[in-house]
Amino acid sequence: MRIVLTGSGSGGHFYPLIAIAEALIIHARDQKLLLPELYLMGPEPYDPEALMRHGISFQYVPAGKMRRYFSWKNFTDTARTLAGVCVATWKLFTLYPDVVVSKGSYTSVPVILAAIFLRIPIVIHESDAQPGRANKLVARFARTIAVTYAGDNKYFPAHKVVRTGIPTRSHLLTPGAGDPYEQLQFDAHRDLPLILVLGGSQGAERINDLIATSLDVLLSKYVILHQTGESHATIVTETAQALTKEKSYLNRYHVRGFLDVTTLAAALRAAALVISRAGSGSINEIALAGKPSILIPIPEEISHDQRLNAYTYARTGAAIVMEEKNLTPHLLAAEISRIIGDQAIRLRMQEAARAFAPVDAAKKIAEILIEIGLEHER
């Protein structure tokens, strides 16, 4: 059986595909089936080491962005997408997989259009509270549409929709053994609450600036692990050193460009509070860890998805939403103090978080893919 994965334009798209790949291997072994051949098609491999660890072959397929505004790049990107359809058609024809599974995003469009042309079964997964354009475009051609939010039903043909939640890597589903403070090498700070700041796979410049200018207030009470994005780590470290008046506190501030899955799992276990953008993948990982959170969505003029994700999740009682345009260091510090300082609030938020995210999303999607794949093989 051959299965093609596509739609890996960001960490929020890529890592759920990795979770699906993990579940496919486990399910095939449980059912005593031959392990499926797995391929990722798109403009870039995103995390080549993760692909290699899971036995996924990368196949290059160019793709262009679909912007909502006028740009000369729209012309070149349209040509890139059309070229991608040709490349994907040839590669899919050569491989002839049994099913294609897409996480959406512009990177998936050439592969999905080629799969439609070749009549290869398609399964799509939608993470956001409001579906992206790529998934809306191909929904009527999909065999099954896996969604995260119950409200997504209204955007897709009801008979195709299955609510699964977001596929999550196994390391984040099962609490690891051992002391997370030791794993993070934070032994010296175990008497202080840990705040985990997640800027997303690309980093979040506004959140980085906000944290850097808040350190004098925050580091007197908390230890902070701040994931900045690889390209921002150096400048954030330099800014923190320049702006923090009490230099002795800087050993409580730990900057990481990127958190691998083992470090992220330990950080989520140790954290008293998580501050994050509102990508659906980040929300899911926070919820599975059962942690209170402050969500700072990307402004609506840039992304409609994150704001809707944030408020949908916050309505469960698991998170507080703070709009970027109104946010100041003092407001952020006050909200952090309110949550961490009140055990009743923390417990309510933890319970709401744990109730939000299904733990078997990847397993459900793997079962659907194997079933369709076996049917296609006949």
Q: Cα(293)–Cα(219) distance, rounded to whole angstroms?
A: 18
Token look-up 């009801």 returns 158
Secondary structure (DSSP) of 322-333: --GGG--HHHHH
Q: Cα(237)–Cα(222) distance, rounded to whole angstroms?
A: 17
Per-residue pLDDT at 153 exceeds 90: no
Closest CA to 100 of 372, 294, 322: 372
Question: Rounded mean pLDDT of 88-103?
Answer: 97
Model confidence, pTM: 0.86
Say what the pLDDT of residue 319 is.
98
Neighbour count for residue 110 (Cβ, 10 Å): 28
Say what the pLDDT of residue 179 is.
87
Token look-up 């596929």 returns 167
Say what the pLDDT of residue 300 is.
72
Share of residues in the chain with pLDDT > 70 (%) = 96
Helix (H) or strand (E) holding 16: helix 11-30
The full set of domains in the chain, from first to last, is 2-168+359-377 (3.40.50.2000), 172-356 (3.40.50.2000)
Say what the pLDDT of residue 66 is.
73
Q: Tens digit of pLDDT for each residue in 229-273? A: 888 889 999 999 998 888 988 999 999 999 998 999 999 999 999
Q: Tens digit of pLDDT for each residue in 10-46? A: 888 999 999 999 999 999 999 999 999 999 999 999 9
Say what the pLDDT of residue 201 is.
58
Say what the pLDDT of residue 341 is.
95
Say what the pLDDT of residue 202 is.
59
pLDDT band at 170 (very low <50, low <70, confident <90, very high): confident
Which residues, in sequence order, are bridge partners of residue 43?
none
Q: Tens digit of pLDDT for each residue in 185-243? A: 888 888 999 999 998 655 578 888 899 889 999 999 999 999 998 888 899 999 999 98
Question: Rounded mean pLDDT of 330-344?
Answer: 96
Say what the pLDDT of residue 2 is.
97
Which residues, in sequence order, are bridge partners of residue 126?
147
The per-residue pLDDT of the chain, averaged, comes to 91
Question: Rounded mean pLDDT of 71-87?
Answer: 87
Say what the pLDDT of residue 206 is.
85
Name which of 49-53, 141-145, 182-186 the model is least confident about.
182-186
Angle between helices 73-95 and 109-118 (to 10 degrees): 40
